[in-house]
Amino acid sequence: MNTRASIVFCLSLLPVPAVAQSPIPSHYFGMHHNYALEWPTFHVGSRRSVVGPNWGGINPAEGTYNWQKLDNLLSALETRNADLLFNLGIYMPNWASSQPGLYCPDGNYGTCYPPKDMQTWETWVSAIVAHVREGLAPGAPGRIKYWELWNEPNDLGWWKGDMATMVDLARRAYRIIKAADPSAKIVTPGVYSAPWGGSYDGAKWTIDFLSACSTGDPCADIVAFHAYPSYDFSFGDAGALIAQGVIDPQAFPLMAEQSIIDPQKYKNIAATFGLEAVWNTEGGLGVWTNIPNATIYDVANPQTVKNWDLMAQYAVKATMLMQAGGVGRSYWYAYDNRLTGLLWQWSDDLQGTALNPAGVAYGLMAAHFNGATPVSPVARQETANAIRNPTASGAVVGQPGTMPTHWSVYKTDPGVNTAVVEVGTGYVDIRVWGTPSYNGLTYVLFEEAGVIASSLGKQWFGSFNQRLVGGSLDNVQVHVGVYEFSPGGPLTYSGAQTVPPTTLDHTLQRNLFMTPTRYPATASLVPVVAFQQVAGQAFDITLRLSSPHFDDGTRWIGTYSKPDNSSLILAWDSSGATSTLTVDPAYTQYQDLAGAFHPVSGNSVPLTLSPVFIIAGAP
C-alpha cells in the first residue's frame, strides 16, 4: 500500500513514573559478532558463540585443546559485564563425527551427524566445563553460565541424527554441567519455524524433543527458537519482490510485526513442559539490494543500495515486540554478516566501528531500552472483535453435532469425520478423524462468509485459545489463517501457519496470527482453524477451541519508564497509512530511527511504518 492517508487518533498518553515491574535486563540485548575486530559501539549484553570459538576450533584433534580464543572472548565480555551463550555442538570437529567423510549443507564434512560415540561427546563437554571453572570454588558459577545444546536440528543441514540420539546428547550434557555448576542453565537446541509444518517445523520438533525428555533425566531449562521472518508468504511472494530489487518497506507489510507469533507458540510449549523461560537465540533479516536478480557479490558489495530502512525498522520492532511478548533474551544475527542482519559498516580489513543505518537504529533502541521498565509494553492496539460469537455458545454435542452459533465446519473429503464431543463455558471440543481420500484440509470457521468485509491489502490480526484434549498430532497438522471470499463465493485459504497444540490448559494456550488481504476480488474473509491431512494416513485429534478474536487495529504503542524516571513511548502504525497519535504535553520531542529529533507540535506525533521514540523532557 503506497497511498498514505492521514487518520487522526486521539489518545492521551501520560508520562508515568517507574512502577513495580522488572526493568529490561542488560543481557536481553544479545548479539552474534563473528568477524569485525573491534567491539560494537552500542550496548551488547550477551554474545552467542557460533562461528567461533566453537568445538571444532577449540578441539581440532582428539585430546588437543586450544583455549586462547575462548579465554580472550570471556575476558572481553567480563570487562563489559556481558556474558556468553555457548553452543556445544555447532561445528563439531571432523575427527569427532560419526560420518567424517560425508558432506553437510553447512559447507563442512561430518558436522551435521552425531558424534562418533557418546564418550567423545562427554569428554568434550567435561573438558570445556572444567576449563571455564579453573580456579573457582566447587559449586561456584562458571565463567560460562548458559549452554545451548545444538543448532537447528529440525534442519537436515545441521542434524541428520534421530531424536533419541539428540535426547541422549542433551541428558549427558545436562548431567555434566549441572554436577559442576548447579546454577548453570541449559538451553534447548535452537530451531526455526516452518509455517506449513512438516519435518522442518521447529515448534513440533521442540514438542517432540521435550516429550521424549519428560520421562527420565531432564534435558534443558530454557526453550530456544530462532526468530526469522518465516511468515512473509502471508503478504505475497517476498522472494519474487527481493529478486526484482524491491527494498521499499511499504512492499513488505507485517515483516517485523509477525515476530510476535513464534514467541507465543514457544511460551505455550515451555509452560506445557515446565521450562522456565523462552529465548530467541538467533534472528535477523536478510540483506538484499535494489539490483534485480542480484548475485551474492552484489549483496556483499558495500557500494550497492541495500534494504537498510526495512532492516532498521525490523530490528527495532522485532526486538521490542519479542521482549514485550515474554522472550527473555534476543540474539541478533549478525552484527557483521554481510548477508544477514548486517549492522556494521563493513570494512575488508575488519577494522572500525562505523554503523550502517540499521546499526544506528539498533544502537538507539538499545540505548533507550536497556534498563527501562515496561509500564505498558509495546503491543498492538486492538479494535472491536469482528467475530460475533467468541464465547462458542450454541454448540450441541453430536456426530457431527451442532457447531457454535455462526461457526461452521467445511470439509469435502468423505473419509474425514467431525463431531462436537464436549461443550463447556466459553469453549467447544471438536473431534476430527478418519482416513483421508486425498491430501487436503478440513476447516473450522469462526464466522460466516460476508460478515467481515475486507479489501486488498487490509491488515487483519487474530488470536484464539486451544488445547489438545484427545488423539494426537500423528498424521495431521493444525493451522490457523483466513479464508478469503469474493461476492461470488470462496477464493482461497491464506495467511496460514502451523499452531501445534499441547495439553496445556486452553485458558493459558493462546495462539496469534496476522495477514493482509491478498486478492483483489476479496470482499470478505473468515478466520479459520484448519486440519491438514494426508491421503491414506489415518488420524484422530480432538481440540478444545475458545475465545477467538479478529480485528483490524494497526497501531502499536508501548510506554516505558527509564532509569532516570523519564518516560518514553515507542510507537508506529503498520497499515502503511499515516495516523496521528495525541500525547500529553510533557512529551516534547520524538526521535526517528536515524537519530534525528523532531518537536512535538500540538501534542500530536505522526505515526508511520517506521517506529519513533517519543520523549518526555530532554533526551
* 115-135 residue pLDDT tens: 999 999 999 999 999 999 999
Task: State yes or no: pLDDT of 5 exceeds 70.
Answer: no
**What pLDDT, on the 0 to 100 scale, is given for residue 193?**
84
Q: Mean pLDDT over residues 434-456, rounded?
A: 96
Q: Which of 12-16, 230-234, 342-346 has the highest mean pLDDT?
A: 342-346
Q: Mean pLDDT over residues 186-192, rounded?
A: 97
Average pLDDT, the chain: 93
Task: State yes or no: pLDDT of 195 exceeds 80.
Answer: no
Crossing angle for the helix pair 308-324 and 357-369, nearest 10 degrees? 20
**What pLDDT, on the 0 to 100 scale, is given for residue 619?**
52
- In the chain, % of residues over pLDDT 90: 88
**What pLDDT, on the 0 to 100 scale, is given for residue 233?**
53
> Which residue has better confidence, 502 or 229?
502
User: What is the sign, positive or negative, of the torsion defined by CA atoms of 466, 471, 472, 477?
Assistant: negative
* Structure confidence by residue, pLDDT tens digits, 355-397: 999 999 999 999 999 999 999 999 999 999 999 999 999 999 9
**What pLDDT, on the 0 to 100 scale, is given for residue 434?**
97
Q: How far apart are CA 55 and CA 148, in angstroms?
A: 12
Check if the beta carbon of residue 106 is closer than 8 Å to that of residue 112: yes
Task: State yes or no: pLDDT of 311 exceeds 70.
Answer: yes
Task: State yes or no: pLDDT of 2 exceeds 80.
Answer: no
Torsion of CA 549, 552, 558, 559, to 10 degrees: -90
**pLDDT classification of 17: cutoffs 50, 70, 90:** very low
Q: How far apart are CA 190 and CA 266, in angstroms?
A: 11
Q: Mean pLDDT over residues 477-496, rounded?
A: 91
* Structure confidence by residue, pLDDT tens digits, 322-347: 999 999 999 999 999 999 999 999 99
* Structure confidence by residue, pLDDT tens digits, 22-45: 999 999 999 999 999 999 999 999
Q: What is the separation, in whole angstroms, between the first and last Cα of the chain?
A: 33
**What pLDDT, on the 0 to 100 scale, is given for residue 217?**
93
Residues ≥6 apart with Cβ < 8 Å to 550? 385, 386, 387, 446, 447, 452, 460, 461, 462, 527
pTM (2 decimals)?
Answer: 0.95
Q: Mean pLDDT over residues 420-441, rounded?
A: 97
Task: State yes or no: pLDDT of 475 exceeds 60.
Answer: yes
Q: Mean pLDDT over residues 457-469, rounded?
A: 96
Q: How far apart are CA 173 and CA 168, in angstroms?
A: 9
**What pLDDT, on the 0 to 100 scale, is given for residue 106?**
87
Neighbours of 505 (CB within 10 A): 12
- Residue-wise over 192-215: b if at least 16 C-beta within 10 A, else e? bbbbebeebbbbbbbbbbbebbee
